[in-house]
Amino acid sequence: MLRLTELRLPIDHQPEAIKTAIAKKLAISEADIQHIHIHKRSYDARKVSQIILIYIVDIDVNHEAKLLAKFKNDPHIQASPDMAYKFVAQAPSTLNERPIIVGFGPCGILAALVLAQMGFKPIVLERGKEVRQRTKDTWGLWRKNILNPESNVQFGEGGAGTFSDGKLYSQIKDPRHLGRKVLEEFVKAGAPEEILYISKPHIGTFKLVTMVETIRQTIESLGGEIRFQQKVVDVLIDNGQMRGVRLENGEELHSRHVVMALGHSARDTFNMLHERGVYMEAKPFSIGFRIEHPQGMIDRCRFGKFAGHPLLGAADYKIVHHAKNGRAVYSFCMCPGGTVVAATSEPNRVVTNGMSQYSRNERNANSGLVVDIQPSDFGDNSPLAGIAFQRIWESKAFELGGGTYAAPAQLVGDFLAGRPSTQVGSVEPSYKPAVNWCDLSVALPDYVIAAMREALPEFDKKIKGYAMHDAVLTGVETRTSSPLRITRNQQCQSLNVKGLFPAGEGAGYAGGILSAGVDGIKVAEAVALSMTM
């Protein structure tokens, strides 16, 4: 097959226009084109008056070899790459141990699935509950102010990505097309097939729930075992070699191959690993607020007369500003047509995140509005100092919210003017259980507040209305990524504990569902190779 890239057509083109454009590009007859497969569809909205669709297509065509020779110097016409996933190993029939995976978020799920597909029958230990019971517990916080520290937005089957926009795109380098493997497994589990070709695929919470259950069943059918409410409280290490784990109930499971697919909020587990001498280091992350605008305003700013077009859906955005104090202010985890959600996992702390359903049809757009934080800001050289830093501001948010898991909130106009907000404006905040209007200038460090106040008017120049008076800021967003990295070598093993495989977002090697899934595959491959050497 041939792959053509940068095939550009108007947004309202007719279906047959794709074939016509291909024939024109290759200078051939349309009759020579046997089959067209759309590999990717994206759009260029830089000119809102003339939005263009951009295609990457794979085609079966007559005289392929001649065409390849003719266009050998054209980077947009090449042979289609082989994107089929190839397993790196197969479990031997004499295998006498099973790998252990701690955590069943996107990274742990893909690691377990790939290991199961290779015949290694992994044992998965998840501290939280299965996804449907976990959903009930999460709604318990949103509706009744009842937090379950072991079953919430952060902990449980599916990981933190279950209660998010379900974004399935990433900027990671992926020369082996592992991201394609992740997407294909999601489609097998019930995700819409469009995630394989649209440029910014997403699923949404409700679809993620059923997908996660289906993948779990697949792992179990291949001999894998998933144990819920099984919290790992210790690791068994002998002379630098991993030997297994100890559970909260006292049970010990023995294996020389343990994958730590932790989420970025597994603070007690980080502390335990640090106490056991596992090498780790502090890393940068970002903190800030959630900002909400009317979704219709964002649609009109981004798409103009094409706002509401079915191929475009609810508009997103990505913006950044480099403040005079040296801080970067940027949008994070933007959720079109979504809601701001309570995402704490610890009592007496408030944390926000964003979530959308597949339809993205809620009235508000929300995004993290965050500022970069460096280890030098923590005031401590400990690898765990970032966690302590996060907790300070999460506890402050709980206090400002009134001590009931309500979140502190402020109108953007009041935030810029330096006065407290006292009531809602035209933008209704979506955070549940409630918001408490206040002055957010004391909710984060002064340098963060200063950078955000500088950035908001600049963002308004890019998206008219971004700094509108009634836009809502809700605090605080502190868990943008892991505050530490459990450093590993080229074999994906801990620098000082053989057989310990740090993986995914909590270990500092991913950020989002797709990159976490890709890292899970990489680590599963490393485990398989280690077990068959």
Query: Does residue 4 have a pLDDT over 80?
Result: yes
Report the pLDDT value the prediction gives residue 203, as an integer from 0 to 100.
87
Report the pLDDT value the prediction gives residue 452, as an integer from 0 to 100.
98
Strand partners, 4: 57, 77
Nearest to 88 by CA among 530, 528, 531: 528
Report the pLDDT value the prediction gives residue 175, as an integer from 0 to 100.
84
DSSP state letters, 379-426: SS-STTHHHHHHHHHHHHHHHHTTSSS-EEEEEHHHHHHT----S--S
263 CB-near residues (< 8 Å, 6+ apart)? 103, 105, 154, 155, 159, 160, 504, 505, 506
Lowest mean pLDDT among 74-78, 173-177, 489-493: 173-177
Give CA–CA dist 291/313, Å, rounded.
20
Give CA–CA dist 225/345, Å, rounded.
26
Query: Does residue 205 have a pLDDT over 80?
Result: no
Strands 100-102 and 123-126: parallel
353 CB-near residues (< 8 Å, 6+ apart)? 153, 160, 163, 164, 290, 333, 340, 341, 343, 477, 479
73 CB-near residues (< 8 Å, 6+ apart)? none
What is the CB neighbour count within 10 angstroms for residue 491? 13
Report the pLDDT value the prediction gives residue 326, as an integer from 0 to 100.
97
CA atoms within 13 A on the CB side of 388: 12
Q: If you average pLDDT over residues 314-342, what whole number do you get? A: 96
Question: What mean pLDDT is reported for the chain?
Answer: 95
Each residue's pLDDT tens digit, 19-66: 999 999 999 999 999 999 999 999 999 999 999 999 999 999 999 999
Q: If you average pLDDT over residues 142-169, what whole number do you get? A: 90
387 CB-near residues (< 8 Å, 6+ apart)? 267, 270, 271, 483, 484
Give CA–CA dist 305/192, Å, rounded.
27
Give CA–CA dist 481/503, Å, rounded.
13
Instruction: Delimit the domains of the chain by residue range.
Output: 2-79, 100-281+485-532, 284-477
Report the pLDDT value the prediction gives residue 358, as an integer from 0 to 100.
86
Q: If you average pLDDT over residues 186-193, what whole number do you get? A: 94
Report the pLDDT value the prediction gives residue 161, as an integer from 0 to 100.
85
Query: Does residue 379 have a pLDDT over 80?
Result: yes
513 and 167 Cβ atoms separated by less than 8 Å: yes
Each residue's pLDDT tens digit, 388-429: 999 999 999 999 999 999 999 999 999 999 999 999 999 999
- Domain covering 100-281+485-532 assigned CATH 3.30.360.10 in the classification: no
Query: Does residue 332 have a pLDDT over 80?
Result: yes
Q: If you average pLDDT over residues 88-111, what whole number do you get? A: 95
pLDDT bin (cut points 50, 70, 90) of residue 480 is very high
What's the chain's length in residues? 533
Q: Quick one: what percent of the chain has pLDDT higher than 90?
A: 92
Q: If you average pLDDT over residues 260-288, what whole number do you get? A: 97
Report the pLDDT value the prediction gives residue 518, as an integer from 0 to 100.
96
Give CA–CA dist 258/115, Å, rounded.
12
Report the pLDDT value the prediction gives residue 172, as an integer from 0 to 100.
82
Which amino acid is present at 248?
A: E
pLDDT bin (cut points 50, 70, 90) of residue 162 is confident
Give CA–CA dist 122/189, Å, rounded.
19
- Domain covering 2-79 assigned CATH 3.40.1350.10 in the classification: no
Give CA–CA dist 443/332, Å, rounded.
19
Which amino acid is present at 6?
A: E
Each residue's pLDDT tens digit, 424-476: 999 999 999 999 999 999 999 999 999 999 999 999 999 999 999 999 999 99
Structure tokens at 318: 């990505």
pLDDT bin (cut points 50, 70, 90) of residue 171 is confident
DSSP state letters, 211-264: HHHHHHHHHHHTT-EEEES--EEEEEEETTEEEEEEETTS-EEE-S-EEE---T
Query: Does residue 90 have a pLDDT over 80?
Result: yes
